[in-house]
Amino acid sequence: MWASILPTIHGSFFTPTPITKPDLDVAELGRMGVVGDFAGLSMYEYEGQAEAVPSSTGADSLLTTLPNGLFHTIASTDATVHAMCVFRNSAIIGGNFTSVNGTESPAVAALDLSTGALTPLAGVSGEVTSLLCDNDAGMVYVGGSFRAADSTNAITWVSSGNWASLPFAGFNGPVSSISKDANGHIIFGGKFTGLGNTSTTATPDSESINLSTAVVQGFQSSTAPGFSNATNVICNTNGETGAGKSWLLLDNTPGAWRAEFGFGFIPTKLRLRNTRQPDHGTKTWRMTALPLNGIMNFTYIDPASGQNTSCTSECPLSNDPNVAFQDFFFVNPVRMNAVRLDILGWFGKGAGLDGVEIFQDALVAHAVNDFNTPACSNTTAPARATATGPWEVTASGQSNSKYLSANISPSQGSSSAQVVFFPPISESGSYTVVMYTPGCIVDGTCARRGQVEVITQLRENEPATTSTLFQTNDFDKYDQIAFGEASAVSGSFRPSVTLRPVPNQAVQQGAIDIVVVAQAVALWLTNSTSSGLNGLFEFDPAQATVNDEEVKNSKFVKLSSSFAANSVVSALATAGDLTYIGGNFSSSSVSHVAAIGKNDQSPVSIGGGGLNGAVTTMYLNDGKLYAGGAFGRTQDGSATNLNRIAVYDTAARSWSPLGGGVDGLVKKIVPMVFNVSGTSQDAIAISGNFQKLLAFGDNAETDVDGFAIWIKSQGNWLQNAKGAVPLIRGSLSASLPGLENGTALYAGSLSAQALRANGIASIASSIRSFPVDILPNNTAARPGNSQRTSVIDSVDDAYGVMAGTFYKNNQGSNITIIGGHFRARATDGSEIQNLVFVDGANSDAATGLPQGVSNNSTFLALATQGDTLFAGGRMNGTVGGSTVRGVLSYNLASKSFNRQPPALDGGRVTVSSILVRPDTTDVFVGGAFASAGSLPCPAVCVFSTTTNQWSRPGFALAGETRSMIWSSNTVLVTGGNFTINSTNQYLASFDAPSSTWSTYPGSTAIPGPVDAITIATGDGNQLWIAGAQSESQSFLMKFDGQSWIKAPVTFSDNTIIRSIQMYSDRSNHDETATVPGNRVLMLTGSIGIPGFGTASAALFDGTSLKPYLLSTGASGGAGQVSKLFVENPSKFFTSTEFGMPLGFIVLIALAIALGLMLIIVVVGLLLDRYRKKREGYIPAPTSMLDRGNGMQRIPPHELLDSLNKGRPGAPHV
């Protein structure tokens, strides 16, 4: 039943496009196997399939499913998608991303489910973590950690296409979950203690923006000495006037004052001091925000009337000498990095100013210390920052601020580059702390960005909080890193925020270092006048306003008031009359899980008294509440071994484990739909910080990487299933599985293949499981190498099956032999290392070698000669008291070691290829070695199975052999990096009868070492080769019998080609100069195809590369296919260039010969009959009555002629 577990398929916003599949003629090749370093394998069948790698940068994609069960990417974001819901005909998507498909879209976007079009919903700055689409009310409730319009952390998107603030303007802390209860009320859960409209900045407009480092210009400035400099008005806060303190314009002339900053800010107040110079003064003015180029609206108190007044394009400035300054408050604060004050009218002869100050609500500390509190400030708590390490100031580009950046290597510790921000906290209180991170597109560092640790210390003698942030955002982003009480700056303590790189983090693919950036932190001090909120709030949409009495009487608020301080509500779920609440909270009546009914004023009893640890995520479906988090049992101990993931039966009010649970925190539960044997069934995916599925029942402990799928109908994890099941790795953060027409939409980062297979699979028209249990590689992931390496150089990093061969004999033996570097499970339950024999004549029993070979060995090459197996690679051991190194000999019939060839020697001995010379007992061994036993024999050596001795084939070759092939029974072609008679060569040929080496014709055209060779025609006169022309570039060339032709194909950087082989193709593509119309060339390895990505096997038709096999490695990244091996390798070329099989040619020739012989015999008989008839012959009589008549038929002359002849005489000499 597990054999066809596949997700449900496409809907209207996506139509899958099948590719034209190749029709390879492999019937005569017999059984086929594919081996390599992979954990899952798929054939390329639909556009959009790829060797997708789970993101290492926190980026998610929007995914739907293909008919073969794999995933297709609809769109990509630069960070996590936290929530999705359906609103009208769109999927609303929320997260902490700043872009979708490269288009700036901070935090929220909409996907049209009919057309697939994506629309940014601009206006939110921060992170969206929860969504509730209320289609009946025509609005989407949005929650998280953000600022939007005049709201914080909660707002609505309405059907008219606008943001609309809620009556209470959000909350003073982050919102984690939103649900609609049975009464139609909207329930908000999170970590907050007050509402947005009752949480006001304690000291608004108090933070002065540093004008002293701005670039200031005056336009139409006075020429009077001491009055022309526009910077005179900066830091003039004491009302001084005169030369050097005042800025005047030319008489009777309008002008402008402009300041451009190296950072962005959101001003809330402008303070102007009119000049007190005689017969001068500014009368009217306006302010323009740059680069928006928008005229600002202000409110102010009219000094003359005392009334609150507003102005826009012409704002007045009092000339009353008793008015020291005027404050103008921004009506719609917007972010800017430059301002222009246009002076429109004046008093007396001309205009002028004595002071300009700009203020903001936020308490900001910039990484570039010059942007912090000006020296002229009188504050006792100035903003400051200290930077340690190789930081440099980076131009802002399209970003709103200059910032610091540092290039560090992964090996450098976290203290090698850090910035400590000291925000200007002058009074204690409750603060929200936000970290600003500049986008990576503007400085071109997206491929080199990584993660940072942010350590926030807000109170003295209390532990700091640490969070980890990705800095891979395309555009500027704002992360809330802390919320809580902070102490004011004192003589003994200053609150601080430290930013530093995460230690020992991996670089992105292709990068050699990590770029870390530091821009600014901002804090908002809030005072909440509302009481009783502690992570829960109930909102009645029918009420236009919210009053304190209604808030206090809410059953949800009453419940949360019983929670301990600093409680968090993480998840909400409603079904029927009950709303379930999960989080990190407890009281005398509830523990981490609670439920409230429609008509209840107090919580409903939860089975087991709740759970004994925090709940981070919940999913409610069909009467089952799935909960994930950090718990281990129920609070009262009635249900144990829940181990962080459990299911609650809402009818029976009882908890039960999901399998055996997991060994780490569960962060997300996401529903999925699978098609199991043609029937759609529900599944749930869990993601988090766990590495194992714990044992239960007959299921042993299973290694995973923070992701697992539970199939409800099977009562088991997908990862525990046996047989042909898909491989899915990565993470899921949200889903919409129940869309129209069977559509499913997922958010996450996944790598999926149709067949889970560790290192080996069977292949023909489809891929199938191979009957051997290769254990997954759980010790270490193959490191991401920015440079391609040969098979010899990559041995130390290899895990998987590298070679395979089939063995049969007349006694009925049918054994498949596979070698590499891996662990496998033998039929008797023991563990096998690196070389496995699968006995097809004995129910596919799996066995290994006897003791003697090191478990650290890696086998790269296999060959049989009679009943003897020769296995080579980077291997060593002791067999029968003799040292084995490089190659061993094993008797397949007796299942025992033979007498071993003398060990190879010289450096890090590695055998890359073993070939038996046709029609002989000579075994040719190629690789990296210098001698065999005491015999100097570099690169290629010959072992005679008759004499059990090594011999050197000629004396001209030295170096490293990577690939070999017999182009005929007497000519061996070798590729690699070696010398012939001290001349560097990449391809050579060996003539066996004369035992001589020679350079291959035209080999000077080959640009680098040859890694793979195959014959291009049956006569062996034409060759294909592949190799490396540089550390990152591969090449493919053909020898057509006369000269070398470079294949008209470009590989992506770091392409690795492990093998090449010609195959017959029944689909008959266009004939080309390099590939006949009835053949294709298969390349295996990690083949980089421009515009597609990597494929583990690709087909070249003489014109282009097309993906054939895709794979995923054990670490979740792209895998590699080493080679395909077949039962009858001699059948690769059993035809003419026109495709006629040799057997048919022989049969046709025989038929023609027999036909010709028959025709000759028939014609001869007819001619003889005609001659006799013409000469009078008649049939001989067959009765006595006919004899007389017969005499009449004898020609007379013959009868008479015989009378003249006498009897013959006696013999004589």
966-989 pLDDT, tens digit each: 999 999 999 999 999 999 999 999
Report whether 235 contacts 374 (CB < 8 A): yes
Percentage of the chain with pLDDT > 70?
91
Mean pLDDT for 146-174 is 92
Q: Average pLDDT of the chain?
A: 89
Predicted confidence (pLDDT) at residue 1188 exceeds the cutoff of 50: no
Closest residue by Cα to residue 87 from 111, 123, 63: 111
Report whether 629 contacts 655 (CB < 8 A): no
In the prediction, which pLDDT does 1183 show?
Answer: 38
CATH architecture of 363-528: Sandwich (2.60)
Closest residue by Cα to residue 845 from 782, 887, 895, 798: 895
Indicate the DSSP class of residue 562.
T
Contacts of 1029 (CB under 8 A, 6+ apart): 1007, 1008, 1035
Mean pLDDT for 693-698 is 96
Report whether 57 contacts 77 (CB < 8 A): no
In the prediction, which pLDDT does 739 show?
Answer: 83
Confidence of residue 448 (pLDDT cuts 50, 70, 90): very high
In the prediction, which pLDDT does 162 show?
Answer: 94
In the prediction, which pLDDT does 8 show?
Answer: 39
- Residues 647-659 as b or e (16 or more Cβ within 10 Å = b): bbebeeeebebbb
Predicted confidence (pLDDT) at residue 199 exceeds the cutoff of 80: no
Confidence of residue 183 (pLDDT cuts 50, 70, 90): very high
In the prediction, which pLDDT does 395 show?
Answer: 84
Predicted confidence (pLDDT) at residue 1198 exceeds the cutoff of 60: no
Report whether 481 contacts 437 (CB < 8 A): no
Q: What's the pLDDT tens digit per position in 922-973?
A: 999 999 999 999 999 999 999 999 999 999 999 999 999 999 999 999 999 9
Closest residue by Cα to residue 1081 from 1017, 1034, 1020, 1141: 1017
Q: Which residue has the higher pLDDT, 1177 or 1130?
A: 1130
Report whether 992 contacts 970 (CB < 8 A): yes
Q: What's the pLDDT tens digit per position in 307-338?
A: 999 999 999 999 999 999 999 999 988 889 99
Report whether 925 contacts 887 (CB < 8 A): yes
In the prediction, which pLDDT does 801 show?
Answer: 96
Percentage of the chain with pLDDT > 90?
73
Report whether 1108 contacts 1094 (CB < 8 A): no
Q: Two tokens at 783?
A: 């490191």
In the prediction, which pLDDT does 1209 show?
Answer: 43
Torsion of CA 552, 555, 557, 563, to 10 degrees: 130
Sequence ranges of the chain with CATH classification 2.60.120.260: 207-360, 363-528
Measured CA to CA, the distance from residue 138 to residue 1184 in angstroms comes to 121
In the prediction, which pLDDT does 759 show?
Answer: 95
Q: What's the pLDDT tens digit per position in 384-419?
A: 999 999 999 998 766 568 999 999 987 776 678 999
Predicted confidence (pLDDT) at residue 1205 exceeds the cutoff of 90: no
Measured CA to CA, the distance from residue 746 to residue 748 in angstroms comes to 7
In the prediction, which pLDDT does 977 show?
Answer: 96
Report whether 997 contacts 990 (CB < 8 A): yes
In the prediction, which pLDDT does 1176 show?
Answer: 60
Torsions phi, psi of 218, nearest 5?
Answer: -115, 140
What are the start-end ranges of the E strands in 739-865?
745-753, 755-756, 760-763, 767-769, 773-775, 800-808, 814-825, 831-839, 845-848, 858-865
Predicted confidence (pLDDT) at residue 1003 exceeds the cutoff of 60: yes
In the prediction, which pLDDT does 796 show?
Answer: 83
In the prediction, which pLDDT does 311 show?
Answer: 96
In the prediction, which pLDDT does 1136 show?
Answer: 42
Mean pLDDT for 621-641 is 96
Predicted confidence (pLDDT) at residue 1211 exceeds the cutoff of 60: no
For the chain, the C-alpha Rg in angstroms (whole number) is 42
User: Where does 207-360 sit in CATH, by number?
Assistant: 2.60.120.260
For residue 1191, the surrounding DSSP H or E stretch is: helix 1187-1191
Measured CA to CA, the distance from residue 359 to residue 269 in angstroms comes to 5
Closest residue by Cα to residue 476 from 448, 445, 442: 442
Q: Two tokens at 747?
A: 């958010």
Closest residue by Cα to residue 470 from 442, 495, 433, 445: 445
Range of lowest pLDDT (184-193, 540-549, 1129-1138): 1129-1138
Report whether 730 contacts 750 (CB < 8 A): yes
CA-CA-CA-CA torsion sign (970, 971, 977, 978): positive
In the prediction, which pLDDT does 398 show?
Answer: 60
Closest residue by Cα to residue 509 from 306, 856, 788: 788
Predicted confidence (pLDDT) at residue 11 exceeds the cutoff of 50: no
Measured CA to CA, the distance from residue 449 to residue 510 in angstroms comes to 12
Mean pLDDT for 885-891 is 97
Q: How many CB atoms lie within 10 A of CB 322?
A: 6
Predicted confidence (pLDDT) at residue 144 exceeds the cutoff of 50: yes
Measured CA to CA, the distance from residue 1099 to residue 1101 in angstroms comes to 6
For residue 551, the surrounding DSSP H or E stretch is: helix 548-553
What is the CB-side half-sphere exposure of residue 162 using CA atoms within 13 A?
5
Q: Two tokens at 309?
A: 């007044």
What are the start-end ranges of the E strands in 892-1003?
896-897, 904-905, 910-916, 922-928, 931-932, 935-936, 940-944, 949-951, 957-966, 971-980, 983-991, 996-999
Predicted confidence (pLDDT) at residue 755 exceeds the cutoff of 80: yes
Mean pLDDT for 881-889 is 96
Closest residue by Cα to residue 887 from 902, 872, 865, 875: 872
Q: Note the maximum CA span of the chain.
A: 174
